[in-house]
Amino acid sequence: SEQFSNFGQRLCGGSGIEELMDDLGTAMALGGPDTKMLGGGQPAHIPEVNALWRRRMQEIMGSDGAFEKMLSNYDPPRGNPHFLEALANLFRESFGWDISAKNIAVTSGGQTAFFFLFNALAGAFQDGRRKKILLPLVPEYIGYANQSVGEDIFRAVKPCIEKLGEHDFKYRVDFDHLKVDDDVAAICVSRPTNPTGNVLTDNEIAKLAELAKTNGIPLIIDNAYGAPFPNIIFTEAEPVWDENIVLTLSLSKIGLPGTRTGIVVANEEVAAAVASMSAIVGLANGNVGQALMEPLVRSGEILSLSNEVVRPYYIDKSKAARQWVAEAFDDALPYRVHLSEGALFLWLWFEGLPISSRELYERLKARGVLIVSGHYFFFGLDDSDWQHRNECIRMTYTMDEATVKGGIEIIAEEVARAYSEA
Ligand code: PLP
């Protein structure tokens, strides 16, 4: 529409992430029993976790003034000082990182943190230079794709694909083709990765951190699923942070997506920049997630919750979903599943699929199964001939057994039908 500015042209006209969140939010709010929501990154409702939120809310209601403080006060733009302090202590004690509250800023969800960071670091500069965010391995999180307020800001590198056995695979960073030049503003990865469930190895992270440092740019690590919370990570992977790393966390995947609480851990300059942006865009962040979580961070209960409840719950779910895929799919079909090393998804690859993943999405939606077409996750890449980008889908495995198993069976039917049309 002509009424919109350049900013408006980029942000007002819809996006993959809007489509996905609309499918998700509508199914959660209104979905009938026949909708199989394997689309968005909705965390499971884990009974022990929900019981804890209930307990915390009752404690807040029962203590003098806490409820009114939570609902009726503005926090500072950077976040609640008690929450920031508790987090800094947790990171120092858990990992030995040399940080204080000045290294942390809260945002309205991790999503908002990325909007701030990408636009503050990349795009057009006063001296005419233009800089990009380098994604060393796509597929990468769909939520980044449309966040630039100016020009396209992503440059992505294809991965090495390691085929494992008959029906598994894993992506690895292709360091031979990963080049950093003057127009790279920062390197960014999600770990565990949405959509694939990949966890970059410690060696890959060390190499990326070194590459960033030698080029004087930050390495942004999106830790929405990582340690120490929610710790939805099934391999051994060392959490890392230093002055050159911007680490983001979130309270969403431990079970509080409705509170919209993101956390940025960075050097003091970057953390202050995030707080400045929060003030301009939203004055302050929501208080509720921070208020619910602060004593759990202080006591360390957030760690036992992550390690003893959340992580094992998702390991079991992931294994069950992988098993149902093996049972539902015809062994003769060339399907492959990315190793599930963390996060909430299975990433399925159908090599040589005669229809696009977008068409598969439409056929599945018509049968009441919501997944996400893989093509959205390959942004920032020039190579439109690369067939792989149209051969993958992401399915979330967090819902109840009937939904996930039933959904997988329908996916298997539709995939078999598509191959038989060739
Ligand atoms: N980063 C990744 C990799 C995600 O998967 C998500 C949500 O799905 C986010 C960031 C943002 O989550 P939130 O804004 O709820 O913290």
The verdict on ipTM greater than 0.95 is yes
Return the pLDDT at 31: 74
Q: Cα(107) to centroid of ligand 1, in Å?
A: 12
Nearest protein CA to atom 7 of ligand 1, as residue: 41
Q: Cα(192) to centroid of ligand 1, in Å?
A: 11
For 395, the enclosing helix (H) or strand (E) is strand 392-396
255: CB partners within 8 A, 6+ apart: 43, 45, 46, 49, 50, 53, 230, 310
Return the pLDDT at 19: 86
Predicted confidence band at 251 (pLDDT cuts at 50, 70, 90)? Answer: very high
Return the pLDDT at 28: 82
What is 6-50+305-420's CATH number, 3.30.70.1290, 3.50.50.60, 3.90.1150.10, 3.20.19.10?
3.90.1150.10
Tens-digit pLDDT profile for residues 335-375: 999 999 999 999 999 999 999 999 999 999 999 999 999 99
Q: Cα(42) to centroid of ligand 1, in Å?
A: 10
Pocket of ligand 1 (CB under 6 A): 41, 109-111, 141, 143, 190, 194, 222, 224, 250, 252, 257, 262
Tens-digit pLDDT profile for residues 180-191: 999 999 999 999
Nearest protein CA to atom 12 of ligand 1, as residue: 110
| CATH architecture classification, 74-303 | 3-Layer(aba) Sandwich (3.40)
The mean per-residue pLDDT over the stretch 257-285 comes to 98
Who wins on pLDDT, 306 or 2?
306
**Residues 76/284, Cβ–Cβ less than 8 Å:** yes
Q: Cα(224) to centroid of ligand 1, in Å?
A: 6
In the predicted model, is pLDDT for residue 33 greater than 80?
no
Quote the mean pLDDT of the chain: 96
Task: Name the residue ranges covered by the structural domains of the chain.
Answer: 6-50+305-420, 74-303
Nearest C-alpha neighbor of 284 from the set 298, 274, 296: 274
Tens-digit pLDDT profile for residues 134-181: 999 999 999 999 999 999 999 999 999 999 999 999 999 999 999 999
Burial class (CB in 10 A: 0-12, 13-18, 19+), 115: buried
DSSP structural state of residue 374: G
In the predicted model, is pLDDT for residue 34 greater than 90?
no
Burial class (CB in 10 A: 0-12, 13-18, 19+), 6: exposed
Best residue among 133, 137, 141 to mutate for probing ligand 1's pocket (most ligand atoms within 8 Å of CB) is: 141
Q: Cα(257) to centroid of ligand 1, in Å?
A: 9
Best residue among 114, 133, 194 to mutate for probing ligand 1's pocket (most ligand atoms within 8 Å of CB) is: 194
Q: What is the pTM of this model?
A: 0.97
Tens-digit pLDDT profile for residues 196-216: 999 999 999 999 999 999 999
Q: Do domains 6-50+305-420 and 74-303 have the same CATH topology?
A: no
